[in-house]
Structure 1
Amino acid sequence: MDWLGLRFLGELPSSGQIVLDCTHNPFLVLLAYCVACAGSFATLDMAERISHVEQPKSQRHWRLIGAGCLAVGIWAMHFISMLAFETPLEVHFELPITVVSLFIALIAGLLMMNTLGRPNLSVWSFSKASIGIGSGIAAMHYVGMAALQSSAVSYYNPRLFALSVAVAIVASSAVIALARYFRKGSGMFHQLLKYSASLLMGAGIVSTHFIGMWALVLAVPAGSPLHGATTDNSLQLGLTVALITLLIIASCLSAALADKKLQGKEHDLRRVNALLSQLDQARMSLQQVAHYDALTNLINRRGFNQLFGEKLTQQTLSNGMLAVMFLDIDHFKRINDSLGHDAGDELLKVIAGHIKGATRSHEDVVARFGGDEFCILISLNNREEARQLALRIMQKMKEPIDLAGRRMVMSTSIGISVFPDDGNTCEELLKHADLALYQSKGAGRNSLHFFSSNLKTRATLELQLEEELRNALRDDIGLELFYQPIYDLRSGQVAKLEALVRWRHPEHGLLTPDRFISIAEANGLIAELDGWVMRRACHDLSRLSHNGCEQLKITVNCSALNLGRDELADEVAQALADAGVSPHRLELEVTENALMGNINATITLLKKIRALGVSLSIDDFGTGYSSLAYLKRLPLDTLKIDRSFIQDIPRSTQDMEIVQAIIVMAHTLHLQVVTEGVETMQQYEFLSRYGCDYVQGYLLSRPVPLQDLRMVLDQLRDRRHVGGGAVMPFRDTNEPVSQDLFADSPGYHAGASIARPVR
């Protein structure tokens, strides 16, 4: 039976033909298997290469190479296997038919690589591809068999023929499945699996060939000459074909490996470029964060300093001028405390817009240094330009701002320093602008000031005094207490002593509190200073008690900052206990402004101190903004009238009426009244006539140190006896006593400067 030019054998021929017994050279068979395995490995590797290539042109390139490797590998396996075929006949191969078989193998290889190049493969497509590729391999085999020419007639066993085709199809499906599986993956284990798969695929391809050879039956007519095995060049030819094939496959694999490494380097380069791009973006983001304020989008201190240095260099080279302006929003803390920090942030955004809107957008540098502090850097031709800009900003700030349902107007204090007049470095100019801002705040805020050299001198002196005051407190050197008697108008005796701190400075002489109290308050030393005054006053009171002054009381001033500390009551109790002094002999003086700071907390603290037995006095009454409603709630014992109401008596009728009203009001609230600053007999007599309880002033005595106090007390007692119960002044004139170094002004009291803050 013939089909497609093939003779199929139904039974042995009956015309006297002889069926030949053929064998195979085992070495060439093994060599053919190795070539098949190499072709299979190349197919898997090329399929993997295609999956890693991104450009379509490169993918087509590697499909062609993969198809060539597979076609050459299968065809070479077939050709070497045919060379391994040993028969007792003279055989030769027709070149055209052999070339056709190679062409068929190439078509099968192309179909295979196109199938593997698809990203998705359905079951139907997989089946069609397997059948097509398997049929191509089988066709390549049987066409190659047709190239075998001899005197024998070729017959094929139809069952084995069908089996060879089936094996070819199964082997093709296995190749497709394994190649798609190995498209992704890496590492040693992946390579070992790929080698194993190549051995199995090679076995399948070789099986297709040898099952086809098994189906072959060669028959020669009876009497045809036969000869035994002869040596020919089959081995040499087989080795040559194998070597050429393996070189081709190895070259393709080497090219694939080189391309893979090159692609890996390209991927690494792209990854590095991507990382560099990300780093550049991160650097820009960090630079934005590092040099710009997140809330207002203005540059921050770091960015400002960088631009400042650049502009300073430019102006130095061109002999130009720069102005540095420090701005501080007046009373901004009250916004945060009353409306919350979110409202404060919104307000800062609006204020930043106002400041930015008042400046030259492309020339001036506006920065936020933190909190409510802003800084502006401008180039200018004269100082007046800086003043005009500051005035524009202050005018812009007066525009109403709607915030949290309220309509408010803010103000700003501004300090200005100018290059090169006020400094040559960034640090120096910023420091001088800050000093000028400090002066603007001290002048009542909502104002502008230029830096002047006396500001630097004062700042240097304050810094020196701060360090020396800290050392004086630590070493207990230089600080002293002076005492001024407080006279009881009813008993005609000295009933109290007010303790007033002094600092005997080694260079500046005896300093009164107005020179150093504000420094102590600004630098956190006021609590330590007040504590020292209290401990020393209690200690001196104990010494006075041993010298016949058992009835005297001492009044000690307490600063507003110290009054906000819950530990104050315990410190008072400890000072009394250490000195062994009864609590009722100590009186604590606080200013009325200090009392009004946090009225509820203040009342709680004062009640704790009052519970100890310590008396409480309100100092400088009438100069602050205390409320009578609060005054009646405070646990007070004494009210001290400020000297400002006394100094014009008896010339001022209005002051006389005010003092009378205060005395009546205090007595109505069951408070004793002390009047300070009494300097004339007319003042003394007026106060005595209208029911004042105590007087204090130069008429009686100046503040004196402890060692001189006994002599002053004796003099007052002696003058009382001479005057028949009324105090006799140091001078028999009604002219006020001139004030000098020991002037008893509110600023001289420890802590009293809080009522009149410097800043």
Structure 2
Amino acid sequence: MDWFDLRFIQHMPSDGHLLETSHQSLGMMLLAFLLACIACYTVLEVIERISQAQQPLSRWLWRIVGALCLGSGSWVLHFINQLPAEEYAQSAVAAPANFSSLCVATASAFVVMLSISKGHAKPARLFTSALLISLSSTVLHLFAITQSPQVIALFYSPLLIMAALAFACAFSYAALYSYDHQHAQSPAMSRLSRITASAALALAIEFTHSFGVEAVVADLASTASTDVPGAESHMALIVSCLALLGFAASLIAAARDKYQVVNQSNVHRVNSLLNQLDHARTSLQQAANYDVLTQHLNRRGLNLAFTEKLLKHQQTNTPLGVLVIDIDHFKRINDSLGHAIGDSMLKVIAERVSSALRNDDVLSRLGGDEFCVLASLKSKDEARVLAGRVLLAMKEPIVINGRCMTMTTSIGICMFPEDGNSPDELLKHAELALYQAKGSGRNQMHVFSSQLKAKASVELLLEEELHTALRSDQGLQLFYQPILNLHSGKLSKLEALVRWQHPQRGLLSPDRFIGIAEANGFIAELDNWVLRRACCDLSRLADEGHEHIKIAVNCSALNLGRKELATEVSEALLHFSVPAQRLELEVTENALMGNIGQAIDLLQELRAQGVSLSIDDFGTGYSSLAYLKRLPIDTLKIDRSFIQDIPGANEDMEIVQAIIAMAHSLRLKVVAEGVETPEQLDLLAKLKCDSIQGYLLSRPIPMQQLLTFLADFKVESSLAHHL
């Protein structure tokens, strides 16, 4: 087929004919436009698939599908709109010519797809794509007209051509812009934007066709008309059905691909969430089972590891060693240097202990400054060797922030299956051995034995029964030991001593239960009971005519650090209407010096109430004379260890003489404890000791016997000549 003579004219030639002279039906026009809209909508769906495709081959296949949809949509619109033209009827059914037009439309559409499908377009790329859509429609129109056998020469109006391109480009740009910004909208608005963009693209194609028809003047050859009534409607229906099938197939393929992509995305998201959950679970397990500071197992992690390790040793019937390690006096580090230094030291200590262990040994931080070691050992001797390595590793000085410190440890040891069959039982027994090591002077190891368990059981039972005795106010009672004033020869004071009348064990002295009360945190309750009972007995003594006698009550070291003590003393005195001058509090030298800063303030507050104060067991501690002269005390009590060997022991006699002289120089009274012989009394009188107490005068006796003793008391002839 020859190429046609194409001419651009300013005015229509006088001998020219319009290419289309027939009137198009409204139904045909709407059908063509609807097919173009569907084609454009399909193209936009395909563009989305291109942007989401992961493989290069998939992107190229979708570009081809999009080119087929866009090209066939443009061609179908042109084809159906040309069907009513009587002159074009023969060319409309010419298969080769129509196929050629379809190929040209598809090829030009492929160029458009290459431009459109490059991700989110910038304004320049949007304009380029819109211009390509306009040009591709124009090329299709031009090529299709040239395929008509009636056309000899074509004449184009340049103004109408430019107008067609301008309108088509504007609508194409608007459509692409609307599609490009639909992703930021809601799903409903996004679908509406896509439909609007499809209609705009269809209008762009329609403009190129309509304006093109108006712009073309053709020189037609005279041929016989072969108009077949109704042929164009049948042909339009066939072409429309074929086009719709193609568009539907493309839409279904796009929807299926979108569904697969969404599924893959969901699967990927679920896998990602599962991986995050696995990481979170691992992190939680790490946080739950490991100590943050030392990075070793914590108590919870130890329980799991202990159960697993114990099960293996039960199956193989082999011993397992359990070591509980405690840092001696670690609290002083936190109190004096701060918790930051304490934490740094704990890290170093954990490294030291770990360095002394073997690879398969398990180290755990139980809490605070306490650690636990699980070790596969054959005997307690091997356990002692392992504990010895730990003790040796701790002897090296620790340098933190320029300070050089040396810490010691106490270690308790027990063995499976000899000392227990469960983690709780083994830990409890190892801790019992640890307490024994600490009680024996610290910086040593101690191995669990059945005797320790029996002792712990007895102490636990005593603790429970002591609680019951305090709550019910039954069993506990006060005994009083008289104190004789050597200057006046009268009983001036009584020392209150608590006793426990146990229903099974008989009368228990303080050394059997005071330590239990201190260790278990209710010594303050016990001291308060003693204080109130002593005030009650002071009131009773006044009623019996002994209002001049004072009572001295012992105060424990732990109770001395409580600010509430001064309030409890004033409340007890007020409740029983006892003058404060008749009450004296005794504190041991070691208890006083162990908390001297707080003790001074508390003693001054008690002294301001009128309560007398004395230091018990003087000479056995490490008190400083610089502090002694600042303390608001009234009396020093010389410990019986210095009295029991005099006058035969010259050194003790010199110590007693020095204490009396020092006390008098500080204007303090002196009481000698443990006086049992006349010779001791004679010496103390010569040394000008103020008062004595001991078996020579009387043993501690209960209140009822005390009243009889006071009523019958007279200085015997054996004592009279010493006074």
Does structure 2 conserve the Cα–Cα contact (< 8 Å) formed by 1:25 and 1:86? no
Is 2:589 the partner of 1:592?
yes
Write the distance in 1 (CA, Å) between the matches of 2:14 and 2:486.
164
Is 2:446 the partner of 1:449?
yes
**Post-superposition shift, 1:87?**
5.5
Is 2:209 the partner of 1:209?
yes
**Post-superposition shift, 1:262?**
1.0
Is 2:349 the partner of 1:351?
yes
Higher mean alpha-carbon deviation, 408-417 vs 210-219, is at 210-219
**Post-superposition shift, 1:3?**
9.9
Q: Which residue of 2 aligns with 1:725?
A: 720
**Post-superposition shift, 1:127?**
4.6
Write the distance in 2 (CA, Å) between the matches of 1:673 and 1:335.
38
Q: Which residue of 2 aligns with 1:252?
A: 250
Q: Which residue of 2 aligns with 1:323?
A: 321
**Post-superposition shift, 1:404?**
2.8
In structure 2, do the counterparts of structure 1 residues 226 and 585 end up closer, same or farther at CA, with 3 Å as the change threshold? closer
**What letter corresponds to residue 79 of structure 1 in structure 2?**
F
Write the distance in 2 (CA, Å) between the matches of 1:427 and 1:679.
51
**Post-superposition shift, 1:468?**
1.6
Write the distance in 1 (CA, Å) between the matches of 2:240 and 2:218.
27
Q: Please show how residues 474-623 of structure 1 align to structure 2 within 5 Å.
A: 474-623=471-620
Higher mean alpha-carbon deviation, 621-630 vs 454-463, is at 454-463
**Post-superposition shift, 1:259?**
1.0
Write the distance in 2 (CA, Å) between the matches of 1:715 and 1:575.
30
**What letter corresponds to residue 594 of structure 1 in structure 2?**
A
In structure 2, do the counterparts of structure 1 residues 91 and 293 end up closer, same or farther at CA, with 3 Å as the change threshold? closer
Q: Structure 2 residue aligned with 1:234, among 232, 235, 252?
A: 232
**Post-superposition shift, 1:275?**
1.2
Higher mean alpha-carbon deviation, 565-574 vs 426-435, is at 565-574
Q: Which residue of 2 aligns with 1:282?
A: 280
Q: Please show how residues 195-206 of structure 1 align to structure 2 within 5 Å.
A: 195-206=195-206
Q: Please show how residues 377-456 of structure 1 align to structure 2 within 5 Å.
A: 377-456=374-453
Q: Which residue of 2 aligns with 1:164?
A: 164
Does structure 1 conserve the Cα–Cα contact (< 8 Å) formed by 2:137 and 2:209? no
**Post-superposition shift, 1:100?**
2.2
CA RMSD of aligned residues (A): 2.5
1:277-336 per-position Cα deviation (integer Å, ceiling 9, x unaligned): 111111111111111111111111111111111111111111100010000011111111
Does structure 1 conserve the Cα–Cα contact (< 8 Å) formed by 2:328 and 2:408? yes
SS at match of 2:376: strand
In structure 2, do the counterparts of structure 1 residues 541 and 235 end up closer, same or farther at CA, with 3 Å as the change threshold? same
**Post-superposition shift, 1:711?**
2.3
Write the distance in 2 (CA, Å) between the matches of 1:399 and 1:219.
114
Is 2:98 the partner of 1:98?
yes
**Post-superposition shift, 1:218?**
5.9
Does structure 2 conserve the Cα–Cα contact (< 8 Å) formed by 1:92 and 1:150? no
Q: Which residue of 2 aligns with 1:753?
A: none
The normalised TM-score by structure 1 is 0.90
In structure 2, do the counterparts of structure 1 residues 659 and 571 end up closer, same or farther at CA, with 3 Å as the change threshold? same
In structure 2, do the counterparts of structure 1 residues 148 and 4 end up closer, same or farther at CA, with 3 Å as the change threshold? closer
SS at match of 1:624: coil
**Post-superposition shift, 1:162?**
3.9
Q: Which residue of 2 aligns with 1:694?
A: 691
1:231-262 per-position Cα deviation (integer Å, ceiling 9, x unaligned): 13211211111111111112111111111111
Q: Which residue of 2 aligns with 1:740?
A: none
Q: Which residue of 1 aligns with 2:66?
A: 66
Is 2:593 the partner of 1:624?
no
**Post-superposition shift, 1:209?**
1.1
Q: Which residue of 1 aligns with 2:676?
A: 679
Write the distance in 2 (CA, Å) between the matches of 1:628 and 1:88.
131
Write the distance in 2 (CA, Å) between the matches of 1:519 and 1:590.
19
SS at match of 2:293: coil
Does structure 2 conserve the Cα–Cα contact (< 8 Å) formed by 1:20 and 1:217? no
Q: Structure 2 residue aligned with 1:301, among 295, 299, 323?
A: 299
Q: Which residue of 2 aligns with 1:54?
A: 54
**What letter corresponds to residue 671 of structure 1 in structure 2?**
L
Q: Which residue of 2 aligns with 1:41?
A: 41
Q: Which residue of 2 aligns with 1:143?
A: 143
**Post-superposition shift, 1:125?**
5.0
In structure 2, do the counterparts of structure 1 residues 179 and 46 end up closer, same or farther at CA, with 3 Å as the change threshold? farther
**Post-superposition shift, 1:629?**
0.8
Write the distance in 2 (CA, Å) between the matches of 1:207 and 1:221.
28
Higher mean alpha-carbon deviation, 76-85 vs 286-295, is at 76-85
**Post-superposition shift, 1:556?**
0.6
**What letter corresponds to residue 385 of structure 1 in structure 2?**
E
In structure 2, do the counterparts of structure 1 residues 658 and 80 end up closer, same or farther at CA, with 3 Å as the change threshold? same
**Post-superposition shift, 1:112?**
1.5
Q: Which residue of 2 aligns with 1:465?
A: 462
Write the distance in 2 (CA, Å) between the matches of 1:497 and 1:158.
133
Q: Which residue of 2 aligns with 1:82?
A: 82
Write the distance in 2 (CA, Å) between the matches of 1:86 and 1:279.
73
Higher mean alpha-carbon deviation, 11-20 vs 676-685, is at 11-20
Q: Structure 2 residue aligned with 1:262, among 247, 252, 260?
A: 260
Percent identity reads: 50
Q: Structure 1 residue aligned with 2:635, among 638, 641, 653?
A: 638
**What letter corresponds to residue 310 of structure 1 in structure 2?**
E
Does structure 1 conserve the Cα–Cα contact (< 8 Å) formed by 2:5 and 2:152? no
1:190-244 per-position Cα deviation (integer Å, ceiling 9, x unaligned): 101111221222122112212222334467689x8779x7513211211111111
Q: Which residue of 2 aligns with 1:187?
A: 187
Q: Which residue of 2 aligns with 1:733?
A: none
Does structure 1 conserve the Cα–Cα contact (< 8 Å) formed by 2:482 and 2:491? yes
In structure 2, do the counterparts of structure 1 residues 136 and 201 end up closer, same or farther at CA, with 3 Å as the change threshold? closer
**Post-superposition shift, 1:158?**
4.6
Higher mean alpha-carbon deviation, 619-628 vs 65-74, is at 65-74
Write the distance in 2 (CA, Å) between the matches of 1:592 and 1:371.
30
Q: Which residue of 2 aligns with 1:364?
A: 361
Any stretches of 5+ residues in structure 1 without a counterpart?
A: 729-759
**Post-superposition shift, 1:411?**
0.9
Write the distance in 1 (CA, Å) between the matches of 2:131 and 2:86.
31
Any stretches of 5+ residues in structure 2 without a counterpart?
A: none
Write the distance in 1 (CA, Å) between the matches of 2:449 and 2:53.
74
Write the distance in 1 (CA, Å) between the matches of 2:547 and 2:343.
59
**Post-superposition shift, 1:545?**
1.2
1:471-509 per-position Cα deviation (integer Å, ceiling 9, x unaligned): 211121111000110011111111111111111111211
**What letter corresponds to residue 560 of structure 1 in structure 2?**
A
SS at match of 1:572: helix
Write the distance in 2 (CA, Å) between the matches of 1:128 and 1:724.
129
Write the distance in 1 (CA, Å) between the matches of 2:677 and 2:115.
120
Write the distance in 2 (CA, Å) between the matches of 1:265 and 1:332.
60
Aligned length: 722
SS at match of 2:594: coil
1:118-145 per-position Cα deviation (integer Å, ceiling 9, x unaligned): 2465665555544444222111112112
Is 2:680 the partner of 1:665?
no
**Post-superposition shift, 1:664?**
0.6
The normalised TM-score by structure 2 is 0.95
Write the distance in 2 (CA, Å) between the matches of 1:16 and 1:197.
38
Does structure 1 conserve the Cα–Cα contact (< 8 Å) formed by 2:172 and 2:200? no
Higher mean alpha-carbon deviation, 591-600 vs 681-690, is at 591-600
In structure 2, do the counterparts of structure 1 residues 271 and 122 end up closer, same or farther at CA, with 3 Å as the change threshold? closer
SS at match of 2:631: coil
**Post-superposition shift, 1:19?**
9.0
Higher mean alpha-carbon deviation, 238-247 vs 122-131, is at 122-131
SS at match of 1:616: strand
Q: Structure 2 residue aligned with 1:314, among 312, 315, 328?
A: 312
